Amino acid sequence: MVELKGLSLAYPLPRKRLATALGHIDARFEKDRFSLIIGPSGCGKTSLIKIMAGLLKPGTGKVLIRGEEAQEAGVKRAVIFQDFGLLPWKTVQANAELPLRIAHAKEPERKRAALLLEKFGLLPFAKRYPHQLSGGMKQRLAIVRALAAQPEILLMDEPFSSLDALTREDAQDFLLSVKEEQALTVIMVTHSIEEAVYLADSVYVMTGKNPGTIQTCITVSRNGLSRALFREGREFREYCALLRNTLKKTPEPPPGFQGKRQQEEA
Ligand SMILES: Nc1ncnc2c1ncn2[C@@H]1O[C@H](COP(=O)(O)OP(=O)(O)OP(=O)(O)O)[C@@H](O)[C@H]1O
Ligand SMILES: [Mg+2]
């Protein structure tokens, strides 16, 4: 459903120079699937999420959604960043309603935010402010807010990285239950090999730095087992080992790329 074609990105540096961040990216993220992106720090994962969210324009290439240029496709995308992007001066309820207020939604639609808050156990805290919530609650609020806009594509950049191990597992299962209830294409960045193998239908491995690229895609097959059972088994550990080894391999530099960091005079 989301296709990346010939994508590259360079950030402008002082004195009209450019720092190449992403290069030679061709990938396809299937509709209604859970796709995870993993790769070393600095390989361009956040940049890629921003491009797919339409917040950053690629230097070359394009993002297609259902075969159309992303901005013309009219498919709603929602993004959750690592710090959740909650507004500290707004209450839980006002944060949850934010996308609907921005879209000037009518009262019945605004009720959706309240329903989501209730469903995710946050309604009793509706009048609180984000700093009065636990990490897990903030995380749930960020997901509620993203879902209030009824997106078809949910983009997440390391959403669980600041949570302790058990809260993180709860948050993962919470997200899976949301995804089971509604058709949602999830594309999520993680640094955790175990999280990737637990959640993903497909894991996209990024390698390299300046530019980073998607090296390969590993499809996780659970043979009909529930995720919880799968996590206990030998195959889960084998997938983790495969992913670890793939990440360790030093890839060939992409064709046409010379040097470690490309800084071109504009
Ligand atoms: N605004 C910017 N200006 C110049 N270079 C940038 C800018 N933002 C990111 N970069 C560079 O682009 C590359 C990719 O950055 P990005 O944040 O996408 O990496 P990442 O894979 O998300 O890293 P991490 O795992 O640490 O979050 C890095 O080399 C970074 O230094
Ligand atoms: Mg990042």
Question: CB of 47 closer than 6 A to ligand 1?
Answer: yes
Instruction: Please answer whether residues 40 and 190 qualify as being in contact, where contact means their C-beta atoms are separated by less than 8 angstroms.
Output: no
For ligand 2, the distance from its centroid to the CA atom of residue 44, given in whole angstroms, is 7
SS3 32: coil
- Give the number of the ligand closest to the Cα of residue 214: 1
Residue 70's pLDDT is: 87
C-alpha distances in angstroms, 225 versus 65, 175, 222, 236, 253?
A: 31, 18, 5, 11, 38
- Predicted confidence (pLDDT) per residue in 196-242, tens digit: 999 999 999 998 878 999 999 999 999 899 999 999 999 999 999 99
Extract the tokens encoding 252.
């060939």
Which of 11, 82, 157, 204 maximizes ligand 1 atoms within 8 Å of its Cβ, making it the mutation to test the pocket? Answer: 11
Reported as a single tens digit per residue, the pLDDT across 47-78 is 999 999 999 999 999 999 998 888 887 888 99
Residues forming beta bridges with residue 185, ordered by sequence position: 153
* Structure-token pair, residue 59: 């230097």
CA of 210 to the centre of ligand 1 (A): 9
Residues 6+ apart with CB under 8 A from 83: none
- Residue 116 pairs in a beta bridge with none
Residue 175: CB atoms within 10 A of its CB come to 23
CA–centroid distance, 82 to ligand 2, in Å, is: 8
Amino acid at 28: R
Residue 38, H or E segment: strand 34-38
* Separation between Cα atoms, residue 146 and residue 7, nearest integer Å: 26
21 close to ligand 1 (CB < 6 Angstrom): yes
Q: Does domain 2-75+152-265 have CATH number 3.40.50.720?
A: no
What is the predicted pLDDT for the residue at 105?
A: 67
pLDDT of amino acid 257: 47
Domain boundaries, the chain: 2-75+152-265, 85-151
- pLDDT on residue 71: 84
Q: Is the CB of 41 under 6 A from ligand 1?
A: yes
Instruction: For ligand 1, say whether the CB of 19 is within 6 Å of any of its atoms.
Output: yes
Segments of the chain with pLDDT less than 70: 103, 105-106, 108-109, 250-266
pLDDT, residue 263, reads: 40
Whole-angstrom distance, CA of residue 159 vs CA of residue 190: 8
pLDDT at 261: 38
Name the one residue in this structure whose structure tokens are 């690592």.
82
Q: What is the pLDDT of residue 251?
A: 57
